[in-house]
A and B are shown apart, each in its own frame.
Chain A
């Protein structure tokens, strides 16, 4: 096959991919840029429920639980979601919804009811077009479509190696130059976000492949004995359960405590800052009567496959280093719809005026 013919074929692949998958690729980028800062946007959308003024002594979980029970007629507490930052409120999960509490004063800030939010819709659209199996399949294959576009785009760019933007956005070459320059400048981040996203979209298959290459990706399940109260026994408090869990993992930070009524025992989730990629994957299960540790699942016990998948996700979301990589992933997501739009505009102009640039 001659070089001209091959180039024609690659151009055909590049255009066809954009025409078939362009809309879905653009949706991936737009929704990705929204959910890149999902926690922050979520807090900003409910400022009166999210933010507190730090100061004073932190109340115990028992005191906070009592305040919530008084307010909601003894409705059972499902779990406590501890604050990630001193200026963010603590959340208490009830069957009716999530109660936001000022952990310094015990003030009930309000209740968030369950159901889809704008941010939840953006995430659902990113993963499954906010629909079912068909939407999920479309979005799964949009990742590989980006990789095909990038590879074919690089091949097409390579001989001329244009890296400039001619003045005037109305000029014939402006969109072509913009498409080329941005595509090459952001080639690596775009490739990383598309590849890691594809791995997440096909995580089951990736896990299967990784188990063949290394140790099996273990699906751990703790054994929790649902215990009847021994005669005269009293339940330990959530605060005591956290203290016990912390003795098992010194240096870790508890971020979630599930109450024994829901699941049969205290389940304390901990974050271990020493293991950045899998930091939050620690769970200690504690008997509510004796305080003994029933089971524990620690991030350090993760298999190589699990570590690879966790690192892949951290790269995709930008959590791997923190704010700088989250910003980079956000910017890369913003670039995606720009590339789709500029590419289609170039194609449209050429189609309308074949003799154009």
Chain B
């Protein structure tokens, strides 16, 4: 009986934690920038490890590195050209993630707020 309860609890916890796998779309505007940059992020979650790719559209995609899911906290990085993008997102419900994006080039460092949604 105890094992059954533990199993049910474990399954419930897993269901609550959910899975961020799928295609997420959104945009960001760098603080002090003048353009909104579209985003298409394709995520694949295996345990708490995150792989996949991201970029401005489905054709131009860059591999995700150091992807991790920790509860509702989702972090990953990608390199696009000379820029390194560091995503620090909070999973805000099954269809929305929002958070901070850090961008670093060889000589500059910028920040942006980002909102990603899972198209229905």
With A203-B34, A204-B34: A95-B59 Cβ-Cβ less than 8 Å: no
On whether the beta carbons of B104 and A114 are closer than 8 Å, the reply is yes
Binds A, one of B8-16, B76-84, B92-100: B76-84
Q: Contacting A114 at CB < 8 Å: which of B34, B61, B106?
A: B106
Interface centre among B55, B62, B82, B105 (most CB of A within 10 A): B82
In this assembly, does A93 line the interface, its C-beta being within 8 Å of a C-beta of chain B? Answer: yes
Told that A135-B32, A226-B58 touch, could you supply 6 new A-B pairs with CB distance under 8 A? Answer: A114-B84, A115-B109, A131-B31, A262-B63, A263-B60, A264-B61
6 inter-chain pairs at a CB distance below 8 angstroms, sorted by A residue, are A78-B79, A95-B79, A117-B107, A225-B59, A226-B61, A263-B55
* 10 closest residue pairs by CB, A with B: A120-B107, A132-B31, A114-B104, A128-B32, A116-B109, A117-B107, A132-B32, A120-B108, A136-B32, A95-B79
Residues of B with C-beta under 8 A to A98: 82, 106
Interface residues on B, range: 20 to 34
Q: Does B65 contact A (CB under 8 A)?
A: yes
Return chain B residues, CB-CB under 8 Å to A93.
79, 81-82
Q: What's the least CB distance linking B68 to chain A, in Å? A: 16
Q: Which residues of B contact A221 (CB under 8 A)?
A: 57
Q: 1/0 per residue A116-146: CB within 8 Å of B?
A: 1101100110011001110110000000000
Smallest Cβ-Cβ distance to B56: which chain A residue: A221
Interface residues of B in 41-81 (CB under 8 A from A): 55, 57-63, 65, 77, 79-81
Whether the pair A95, B65 counts as a contact (CB closer than 8 A) is: yes
Q: How far is the CA of A261 from the CA of B108 in the complex (A)?
A: 24
Residues of B at the A interface (CB closer than 8 Å) are: 31-35, 55, 57-63, 65, 77, 79-84, 104-109
The complex places the Cα of A334 from the Cα of B31 at a distance, in Å, of 29
Instruction: Check A261 against B63 for contact (C-beta < 8 Å).
Output: yes
Q: Tell me the number of A-to-B contacts counted with CB atoms below 8 Å.
A: 79
Residues in chain A near residue B80, CB distance under 8 A = 262-263
A264:B105 contact, CB within 8 angstroms: no
A124 lies within 8 A of B60 (CB)? no
A117–B83 Cα distance when bound, in Å, is: 14
Whether A350 is near chain B, meaning CB under 8 Å from some CB there, is no
When distances are taken between beta carbons in the complex, the residues of chain A under 8 Å from B31 are 131-133
Chain A residue at minimum C-beta to C-beta distance from B59: A224
A223 at the interface (CB under 8 A from B): yes
Q: How far is the CA of A128 from the CA of B62 in the complex (A)?
A: 29
Nearest CB in chain B to that of A221: its residue = B57
Neighbouring A residues of B77 by C-beta, 8 Å: 95
Answer yes or no: A172 CB below 8 A from chain B CBs: no
Within 8 Å CB of B84, what residues of A? 95, 114
Complex: how many Å from CA A128 to CA B33?
9
Q: Which residue of B lies closest to A124 (CB)?
A: B108
**A262 touching B79, Cβ below 8 Å:** yes
| Contact pattern, A 254-273, Cβ under 8 Å of B = 1, otherwise 0 | 00001001111000000000
Say whether A263 contacts B34, CB under 8 Å. Answer: no
CB contact between A115 and one of B57, B60, B104 (< 8 Å): that residue: B104
Shortest B4–chain A CB gap in Å is 45
**Chain B residues in 8 Å Cβ range of A136:** 32-34
Asked if A123 and B32 make an inter-chain contact with CB atoms under 8 angstroms apart, the answer reads: no
Q: How far is the CA of A224 from the CA of B57 in the complex (A)?
A: 10
Which of chain B's residues have a CB closer than 8 A to the CB of A203?
34
What's the nearest-Cβ distance from chain A to residue B102, in Å?
A: 10
